[in-house]
């Protein structure tokens, strides 16, 4: 049975205000899918790097989706600069209806290249471009059965080579600046979407060297951290789409029942596909033929990079969210990263994760260590009646079996979305019972398929310039809902800043690496009332803001912001770094 406290566990907001100021201020962090699998590491033009989906801050009647491809582009990578591949299908997939199987909307971009002056080795000379790239954008609204062309001969800006190539009116293109080329490349599709395709600054940031040095992030014994993607570029396909186009019934957002209306949830994933056969011809050309085969995909950040083990990564890339291998689900139920956050296992071998420790005895009864039972011991208990863990509500989706402790938190975050159903509400108003109704703060539940970025389009936008804006996304919203008197005085549904942040979609600013590492360490379990091991449930004066919780909230990898700003309007990502600029 669950413990009930004799007093509210949430009277101490003042103590945590300092923590918020120090640890949960506006920040951001790591690369989600760069060179994440052995096969795709050898095919960079088809490599999904990141995926973002958020309600547009300057046009909240739309959602912006950005799918990035090609990892770690050097700005000075001539004479053949990175570009979209001509023989690749780049696709953005949207699932918006739980009653249908598979995708509901698909956007497909294909690219074409022209040499305007094949007599030179320069990419740009005398106003002409070589490998000048254009694109065709198609849309399917019947799950891929048929496609309609909605953009023809879309412009892709050239690489940002340098001032002579871009701005010089005699030997170069004579553009005012590179921003002018980006603005010229933004177009409106015949069906109303705003579109941009082209090179941009890579908006992701992480100390790649530290992270992949066996989890040495933050690096121990030094204050030197390095953004491994600093001054690196990538290629973006950015779409700004009316919410009424994405909503399954064509509704505008002002028709939503409330700010967590489940009818406004969408799932988004991106992919790249190649034809099965490639023939290398004797004259230096290539012929492609055969069926199209998916070679890369991306939904939630870091899934294939840090959840799926190396022996299964290529298979994972070949599948869709709708035909995933059930054997891979175990990597969410018992994630490898959790092994390094448990002192009974390998926690001591990864000192950088010391502040992220798994609850092994939450409320004196529940063990969330790998291969333990988590909440499965409550299976069949009358206390689960009417909750999301009740077999009569969602079947065995969230409590599938023994020895799958993270099926109640990491699994829904990555694989189904989180429902606004008990116990997935903040501990505010629960009076010590984690299974009671609390303060709602998320609903992006869409159990169709598997790994997707799920976004509730009804959730309002947090102003990027507001002091309340935080790159900690839903974790920041949870902390405010638990501790700030502006939000914790009642358990009513109301907008809390950053409810529109990751993992409810993903904003460019969101610190997804830190959020996901904290989630593996159990911070979401604590938010709904499954307090850390050092909380004394028998002490009526005990505060759930324990040392273990504070250690988790204060964890940082040491790289906490992008190497440049973001734009305030579409496409929001910045111009690519210039090849002649001095790097770091």
Q: Could you report the per-residue pLDDT of 94-145, keeping only the tens digit for each?
A: 999 999 989 999 999 999 999 999 999 999 999 999 999 999 999 999 999 9
Give the pLDDT confidence score for residue 122 in this predicted structure: 95
Q: Tell whether the model's pLDDT for residue 439 goes beyond 80.
A: yes
- Is residue 125 within 8 A of residue 171, CB to CB? The reply is yes
Which residues neighbour 328 within 8 Å (Cβ) at sequence distance 6 or greater? 308, 312, 316
Residue 555: C-alpha distances to residues 106, 241, 550 (Å)? 38, 36, 9
For tokens 């019947």, the residue is 142
Give the pLDDT confidence score for residue 582 in this predicted structure: 66
For tokens 């059930």, the residue is 326
Q: Tell whether the model's pLDDT for residue 335 goes beyond 90.
A: yes
Give the pLDDT confidence score for residue 5 in this predicted structure: 37
Beta strand 48-55 with 62-73 is antiparallel
Q: Give the E-state strand segments of 25-173 in sequence order.
A: 48-55, 62-73, 89-95, 105-114, 124-125, 128-129, 132-140, 148-155
- Expressed in percent and rounded to 5, the helix, strand and coil fractions of the chain are 20, 20, 60
Interatomic CA distance for residues 530 and 532, integer angstroms: 7
Q: Could you report the per-residue pLDDT of 144-171, keeping only the tens digit for each?
A: 999 999 999 999 999 999 999 999 999 9
Closest CA to 110 of 28, 174, 46: 46
Interatomic CA distance for residues 483 and 470, integer angstroms: 16
Q: Tell whether the model's pLDDT for residue 173 goes beyond 90.
A: yes
Other beta carbons within 10 Å of 344: 11
Q: Could you report the per-residue pLDDT of 466-519, keeping only the tens digit for each?
A: 999 999 999 999 999 999 999 999 999 999 999 999 999 999 999 999 999 999
Closest CA to 379 of 371, 390, 368, 370: 390
Interatomic CA distance for residues 125 and 168, integer angstroms: 10
Q: Tokens in use for 428?
A: 């505010």
Angle at 329 between CA 407 and CA 372, to 5 degrees: 45
The model's confidence at residue 42, banded by pLDDT at 50, 70 and 90, is confident
Q: Could you report the per-residue pLDDT of 371-430, keeping only the tens digit for each?
A: 999 999 999 999 999 999 999 999 999 999 999 999 999 999 999 999 999 999 999 999
Interatomic CA distance for residues 211 and 303, integer angstroms: 15
The model's confidence at residue 14, banded by pLDDT at 50, 70 and 90, is very low
Mean pLDDT for 55-75 is: 96
Mean pLDDT for 4-32 is: 39
Phi, psi for residue 312 in degrees, rounded to 5: -120, 0
How does DSSP assign 215-247, residue by residue? S--SPTT------TTTT-EEEEEEEEEEHHHHS
- Is residue 510 within 8 A of residue 502, CB to CB? The reply is yes
DSSP, collapsed to helix, strand or coil, labels residue 508 as coil
Q: Tell whether the model's pLDDT for residue 449 goes beyond 90.
A: no
For tokens 């100021």, the residue is 21
Q: Tell whether the model's pLDDT for residue 41 goes beyond 90.
A: no
In the chain, where are the structural domains located?
Answer: 7-30+326-562, 40-205+232-301
pTM: 0.93
The model's confidence at residue 305, banded by pLDDT at 50, 70 and 90, is confident
DSSP, collapsed to helix, strand or coil, labels residue 338 as helix
Closest CA to 214 of 279, 323, 306, 103: 306
Asked if the bond preceding 215 is cis, omega within 30° of 0, the reply is no
Q: Tokens in use for 270?
A: 């991106």
């Amino acid at each position: 049975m669950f413990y009930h406290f004799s007093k509210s566990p949430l009277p101490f907001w003042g103590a945590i205000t300092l923590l918020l100021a120090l640890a949960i201020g506006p920040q951001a962090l790591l690369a989600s899918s760069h060179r994440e699998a052995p096969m795709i590491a050898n095919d960079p033009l088809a490599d999904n790097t990141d995926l973002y989906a958020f309600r547009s801050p300057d046009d909240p009647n739309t959602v912006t989706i950005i799918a990035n491809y090609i990892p770690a582009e050097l700005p000075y990578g001539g004479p053949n600069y990175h570009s979209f591949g001509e023989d690749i299908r780049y696709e953005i997939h949207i699932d918006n209806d739980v009653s249908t199987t598979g995708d509901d909307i698909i956007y497909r971009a294909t690219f074409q290249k022209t040499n305007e002056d094949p007599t030179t080795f320069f990419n740009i000379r005398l106003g002409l471009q070589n490998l000048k790239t254009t694109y065709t954008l198609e849309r399917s609204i019947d799950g891929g059965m048929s496609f309609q062309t909605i953009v023809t001969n879309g412009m892709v800006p050239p690489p940002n080579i340098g001032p002579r190539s871009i701005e010089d009116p005699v030997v170069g293109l004579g553009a005012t600046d590179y921003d002018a080329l980006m603005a010229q490349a933004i177009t409106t599709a015949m069906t109303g979407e705003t579109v941009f395709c082209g090179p941009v600054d890579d908006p992701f940031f992480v100390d790649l060297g530290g992270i992949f040095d066996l989890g040495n992030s933050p690096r121990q014994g030094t204050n030197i951290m390095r953004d491994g993607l600093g001054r690196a570029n990538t290629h973006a396909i950015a779409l700004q789409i009316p919410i009424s186009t994405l909503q399954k019934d064509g509704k505008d957002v002002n028709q939503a029942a409330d700010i967590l209306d489940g009818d406004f949830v969408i799932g988004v994933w991106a992919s790249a596909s190649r034809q099965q056969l490639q023939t290398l011809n004797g004259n230096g050309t290539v012929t492609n033929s055969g069926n199209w085969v998916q070679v890369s995909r991306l939904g939630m950040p870091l899934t294939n990079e840090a959840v799926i083990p190396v022996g299964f990564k290529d298979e994972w890339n070949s599948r869709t969210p709708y035909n995933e291998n059930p054997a891979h689900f175990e990597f969410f139920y018992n994630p490898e990263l959790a092994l390094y956050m448990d002192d009974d296992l390998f926690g001591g071998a990864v000192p950088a994760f010391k502040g992220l420790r798994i609850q092994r005895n939450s409320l004196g009864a529940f063990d969330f260590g790998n291969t333990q039972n988590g909440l499965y011991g409550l299976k069949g208990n009358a206390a689960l009646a009417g909750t999301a863990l009740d077999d009569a509500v969602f079947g065995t989706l969230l409590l599938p079996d023994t020895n799958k402790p993270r099926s109640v938190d990491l699994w829904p975050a990555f694989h189904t979305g989180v429902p606004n159903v008990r116990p997935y509400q903040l501990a505010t108003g629960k009076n010590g019972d984690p299974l009671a109704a609390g303060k709602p703060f998320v609903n992006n539940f869409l159990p169709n398929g598997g790994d997707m970025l799920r976004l509730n389009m009804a959730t309002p936008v947090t102003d990027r310039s507001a002091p309340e804006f935080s790159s900690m996304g839903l974790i920041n919203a949870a902390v405010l809902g638990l501790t700030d008197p502006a939000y914790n005085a009642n358990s009513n549904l109301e907008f809390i800043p950053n409810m529109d942040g990751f993992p409810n979609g993903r904003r460019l600013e969101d610190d997804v690496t830190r959020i996901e590492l904290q989630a593996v360490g159990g911070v979401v379990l604590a938010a709904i009332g499954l307090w850390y091991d050092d909380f004394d449930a028998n002490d009526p004066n005990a505060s759930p803001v324990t040392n273990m919780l504070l250690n988790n909230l204060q964890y940082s990898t040491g790289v906490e912001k992008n190497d440049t700003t973001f734009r305030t309007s579409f496409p929001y990502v910045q111009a690519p770094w210039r090849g002649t600029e001095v790097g770091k």
